[in-house]
Structure 1
Amino acid sequence: MFDILIQNGTVVDGSGSPAYCADVAVKDGKIAQIAPHIVVDAQKIIDAAGRLITPGFIDIHRHADVNLFTSEFGEPELRQGLTTIINGNCGLSVVPCPPEHRDEIFTFLQPVIGEVDSSLKFTNFEEYIALVQKQPLPLNVGMLIGNGTVRASVKGYETGRLTPTELAQAHHYLHSSLAAGALGVTLGIVYAPENCYDIDGFVEVLQPMRDFQVPLVTHIRGEGDTFHQSLHEVIEIARRLGVPLHISHLKCIGSRNWGHGVTKALEILDNARQSGMDITCDAYPYTAGSTQLIQILPPQFLEGGSAGIVKALSNPEKRRELTEILKKPSDYFENLVNMVGWGNIVMSTLTQPENQKYIGKSVEQIAAEQGKDPYDCAYDMLISEQCKISMVDYITSEDDIKTILGYPYTSVISDSVYPTGGVPHPRLYAAFPKVLIEYVRESPVLTIEQAIHKMTALPASVYHLKGKGILREGCDADINVFALKNLSTDATYQEPRRFAKGFDFILVGGKIAVDHDVLTHIPAGKTLFRI
């Protein structure tokens, strides 16, 4: 007898191959059989007539490093069909965090991962992942090690080359994390403190990667005016290390760069692939991103972490210098202010009571309300909030999204950040259904087979997630059952906290995690490790 038998459905197996009609049987957390008209009895039979049967979706780019320890973790993820997520992206993993740098690391990360509960006791990857294993997980979770946090753990947010002692400690953190099962190493070259490395510095600090078969996963230095040179930079780093390369949230920022910028970028990636390199990428289906507001600042104003930034912004001479920098295009940092303007930069999370009225408003709007110049408004808000401000920034074009999603090596992601309070980005709740609704059902850019492949087998292949992302006998029974016509989502930038609807069943490890848009609260998820 099977545990669950899903009958009469259309199987989209994740491989990209054409859909076909079949039944799917589940036993002991695995797919036991896929065949037409399975007649063996089962404890539960699901009639999937008129429904698709797909692998559970895999989001390889989220920032739920500490949110997974909270009671609300799981519903935004499961309700959009996710059965596996990967955290620790953009070089911004929550570990390592030794006592001497813990507070400044957590303050710097707050707009991305949220507040870290003081009851959580960990200082390195091994201690962190041990806590994750003890957590009742509603879905599968894997973890990456962030090179930015590694650097901050040995040198704080100061610039300059690592000393031999610091370099040895950084190597230890990377090696021990990978040995303990981290799925890969992530970079956030646009962020402090990694923005002070050059190619030689990255190759030097990342030497432990040579001992492990894991990808280098990177938020590149610039995605607008310096887009192409930033791609060449990370390709060279991966080439020298001899490791696979995965580009995070591939996109092109600023209207002056749209269209031609993406065309050239894909040519760069194709040329590197043709030379023998293993290169993939991912993308989210929104024209707005979300990260720390401090990312409007050039590298020299990020030194010293949050305390250093506040000190610089409190200096009238420094403010004048900064304003002149932000008003002009840049060839050395991602100047969002110049590329998209203050009207497209929204403060989405603010912590101070007196600033709550500004949540969800652009810097331009806030400045008008305060009777200030937008530059002074942004600086003053960063000082008031001690840099703990998340932003939603409107940066890319719909046509570019379609082009990038159509690239054969692009996985679908959400890039969800989890700031404490405020108004989160709607991708936290709706990224995956949005692709199916808008780019498969309504304005077809992808076939259903292509879209499911980009949500399942393709992302699973980036991290060699054995048994994930494919419907095959013997694979893990992470399964979604839904009708494409029934999917809906009304999560917006103004009202993002709205769950997707239309999933009949979502199985995690052979257990029903969602039954007609209702969570069962069965902790069937597992912690994933490098194989």
Structure 2
Amino acid sequence: MSEHDLVIRGGLVVDGTGTPGSVADVAVRDGVVVAVAPRIDGRGHREIDADGLLVTPGFVDIHTHFDGQAAWDSLLAPSSVNGVTSVVLGNCGVGFAPAHRSDDEHEWLIRMMEGVEDIPGTALSEGLTWEWETFGEYLDTLAARRFSVDVGTQMPHAPLRAYVMGERGADPAEEPTDAELASMAEHVRAAVEAGALGFSTSRTVNHRTRDGDALGTRHSSGRELQALAGAMSAGGHGVVQLVSDAYLSTDGDHVASELAMLTELATSTGRPLSLSLQQPDAAPDRWREILAWIDACTADGLAIKAQVAPRPIGVLMGLTASLHPLMICPSFAALAGRPLTEIVGALARPEVRATLVAEHAEALRTDTAPLTTLMGTFGRLFPLGDPVDYEPSPSTSVAALARSQGRAPIEVVIDVLLGNGGTDLLYSPLFNYAHGNLDDVREMLLSPHTIIGLSDAGAHCGAVCDASFPTTALSLWSRDRATGQLPLELMVHHLTQRTARHVGWHDRGVLAPGLRADINVIDMATLGARPPRIAHDLPAGGRRLVQTAHGYRHTFTGGAETFTDGEHTGALPGRLVRGPQAAR
């Protein structure tokens, strides 16, 4: 008779705590790890030979936007096919609850998410069931579903403002009355009591609705934020997540004011806080200033973390994507709505190409709009190869290829876009690549006060696909980088215990007796991200970028195998996780 449900034998166990790995066996019973030891004598109902393989906890992605997708999709890919076993929704202050049972309010929330996170409105309109009004009822809807991963969520600020303040809530110039603020605070308190992990908000000019309007949360006062975040304090748990312009601003006074407000927020509420941190070209060293501020805050006893990315935040461009350099050419407008085969055929004709080359040069000469400039930044535009190189050399850029071939860069772009029947993509790093390498990202990852976030999984469906962050974090930083590699145990810690602990999940993120059996068995020799591709698998045929990986031999969620060599087993053990979780 078997003593255990599962025994994984002889793998390199990197347990998530940040300590170096060792060869060991891992035993699982009833969804829980019961033993990790050099040799486990008891047999398992199932045994896996992990000799030569890496065994880690399942990855915990705390920055996703599956808020809509979770209402209709059980797999929650691409996260689930990249080793992730737990996700957190409700980031950046956007989501779909609370919401009055009003078609107008539903439509506004859809336009908001479509603009901020580039999720097709048609897919959201068809896929969302709107079975809820309050945030607690939204949690109940998620609780009735089953997933390949565990799901937690935060209360988003923008829908809350609209729910309580009406149309005024969508106006960043409007302040809530005392009564409205008290009502919003009560909704936050009730949401956390019902199982929300915390409260999120957005303070960046980059977040706009589909109509171009800034979010109502853009200029929320310290008074408003302290009241809402403070509403969690009575329960003794709940995190604050936000995105601010501080990391990208060139205005030192604005940055100082913003950081002072956040210091007061963390001090007055006592709640853990995390904020997005990236490196823009316009302020390439601002991230160091913000990390120094976090260091000082931590020394004063405040719980503040920076959410960082393990690679550039970049835009994918292609004929099937949302953006590509030809879109600024007037002649392309006549082709844009045609079937892909017709577009490919037209671009293959010399006379069409010649016209587009001339129009593109003219657009760059006469139009200084940021989007047009981006479409001509050929020194930071790269063909997307297989395997994907997320630290591309300037020598492989479109500009360098054009120089070596004696051609205009836009001609090289057209050749790339025509690859594989018009489905090939180009990659343009926007953040974290100011110096043409990832040395600064390495410094971010080495800080004890950073956590890997910002994958935005489930969002930016036609331009960004960063749900594969975990795959890059391991393969690039612990194997592929020629210099400056980071310890495997550090990168696993970043993806597991560090993220899980931040949101209050102490029952996962570490391979140890008594904790959840969320486990990855990985072939590090072959681990890698496949090139992203466009799929039309959202409701109403909505488009999104998806990205799979190779090297994940087995992924278990709560002891149930969900993926084998990248293929879903059919198991859906994932559940809604309400609030913080203590170790058993």
TM-score range (shorter-chain normalised) is: 0.7 to 0.9
Say which of 197, 203, 222 aligns to 1:199.
Answer: 222
Q: Which SS does the other structure have where 2:231 is aligned?
A: helix
Q: Which SS does the other structure have where 1:187 is aligned?
A: strand
- In structure 1, distance between residues paired with 2:487 and 2:338: 43
Q: Which SS does the other structure have where 1:5 is aligned?
A: strand
Say which of 296, 301, 315 aligns to 1:276.
Answer: 301
Answer yes or no: is the 8 Å Cα contact 1:48–1:481 preserved in 2.
Answer: yes
Answer yes or no: is the 8 Å Cα contact 2:229–2:271 preserved in 1.
Answer: no
Say which of 123, 129, 132 aligns to 2:133.
Answer: 123
Residue in structure 1 matched with residue 176 of structure 2 by the alignment: 162
- Label 1:226 to 1:442 Cα distance change in 2 as closer, same or farther (>3 A): farther
- In structure 1, distance between residues paired with 2:577 and 2:429: 32
Deviation at 1:414, TM superposition (A): 4.4
The one-letter code sitting in structure 1 at the alignment partner of 2:283 is N
Q: Which runs of 5+ in 1 are unaligned?
A: 292-341, 379-390
Say which of 286, 301, 307 aligns to 2:311.
Answer: 286
Q: Identity of aligned pairs, percent?
A: 22
- Label 1:369 to 1:526 Cα distance change in 2 as closer, same or farther (>3 A): farther
Q: Which SS does the other structure have where 1:505 is aligned?
A: strand
Listed one character per residue, the Cα deviations across residues 275-294 of structure 1 (whole Å, up to 9, x for unaligned) are 11111222123322579xxx
TM-score (norm 2): 0.72
Match status 1:220 vs 2:244: yes
Residue in structure 2 matched with residue 64 of structure 1 by the alignment: 66
The one-letter code sitting in structure 1 at the alignment partner of 2:432 is T
Say which of 244, 251, 257 aligns to 2:278.
Answer: 251
Residue in structure 1 matched with residue 465 of structure 2 by the alignment: 426
Residue in structure 1 matched with residue 187 of structure 2 by the alignment: 173
Deviation at 1:97, TM superposition (A): 1.5
Q: Which moved more, 1:239-248 or 1:65-74?
A: 65-74
The one-letter code sitting in structure 2 at the alignment partner of 1:442 is D
Deviation at 1:368, TM superposition (A): 4.5
Deviation at 1:355, TM superposition (A): 5.8
The one-letter code sitting in structure 1 at the alignment partner of 2:573 is A
Match status 1:490 vs 2:533: no
Match status 1:143 vs 2:153: yes
Listed one character per residue, the Cα deviations across residues 222-263 of structure 1 (whole Å, up to 9, x for unaligned) are 321258433333222111222222223x1132x2421x3222
- Label 1:128 to 1:374 Cα distance change in 2 as closer, same or farther (>3 A): farther
Residue in structure 1 matched with residue 107 of structure 2 by the alignment: 103
Answer yes or no: is the 8 Å Cα contact 2:71–2:129 preserved in 1.
Answer: no
Deviation at 1:202, TM superposition (A): 2.0
- Label 1:484 to 1:134 Cα distance change in 2 as closer, same or farther (>3 A): same
Q: Which SS does the other structure have where 2:528 is aligned?
A: coil
- In structure 2, distance between residues paired with 1:128 and 1:3: 34
Residue in structure 1 matched with residue 378 of structure 2 by the alignment: none
Residue in structure 2 matched with residue 6 of structure 1 by the alignment: 8
Deviation at 1:28, TM superposition (A): 0.5
Residue in structure 2 matched with residue 438 of structure 1 by the alignment: 476
The one-letter code sitting in structure 2 at the alignment partner of 1:426 is C
Residue in structure 1 matched with residue 266 of structure 2 by the alignment: 238
Q: Which moved more, 1:504-513 or 1:189-198?
A: 189-198
- In structure 1, distance between residues paired with 2:452 and 2:443: 13
Say which of 267, 287, 293 aligns to 2:292.
Answer: 267
Residue in structure 1 matched with residue 26 of structure 2 by the alignment: 24
Q: Which runs of 5+ in 2 are unaligned?
A: 208-214, 317-322, 341-355, 373-426, 536-544
- In structure 2, distance between residues paired with 1:216 and 1:29: 30
Listed one character per residue, the Cα deviations across residues 138-169 of structure 1 (whole Å, up to 9, x for unaligned) are 11000111122211222331232112332232
Answer yes or no: is the 8 Å Cα contact 2:229–2:240 preserved in 1.
Answer: no
Answer yes or no: is the 8 Å Cα contact 2:60–2:85 preserved in 1.
Answer: yes
- In structure 1, distance between residues paired with 2:151 and 2:76: 11
- In structure 2, distance between residues paired with 1:358 and 1:441: 41
Residue in structure 1 matched with residue 420 of structure 2 by the alignment: none
- In structure 2, distance between residues paired with 1:456 and 1:181: 21
- In structure 2, distance between residues paired with 1:128 and 1:392: 37
The one-letter code sitting in structure 1 at the alignment partner of 2:239 is P
Listed one character per residue, the Cα deviations across residues 191-239 of structure 1 (whole Å, up to 9, x for unaligned) are 4111121223322343312213212111123321258433333222111
- Label 1:356 to 1:510 Cα distance change in 2 as closer, same or farther (>3 A): farther
Q: Which moved more, 1:14-23 or 1:64-73?
A: 64-73
Q: Which SS does the other structure have where 1:65 is aligned?
A: coil
- Label 1:118 to 1:288 Cα distance change in 2 as closer, same or farther (>3 A): closer
Q: Which SS does the other structure have where 2:10 is aligned?
A: strand
Residue in structure 1 matched with residue 500 of structure 2 by the alignment: 460
Listed one character per residue, the Cα deviations across residues 419-450 of structure 1 (whole Å, up to 9, x for unaligned) are 58x6241213x211011111111124420000
Say which of 509, 514, 528 aligns to 2:563.
Answer: 514
TM-score (norm 1): 0.78
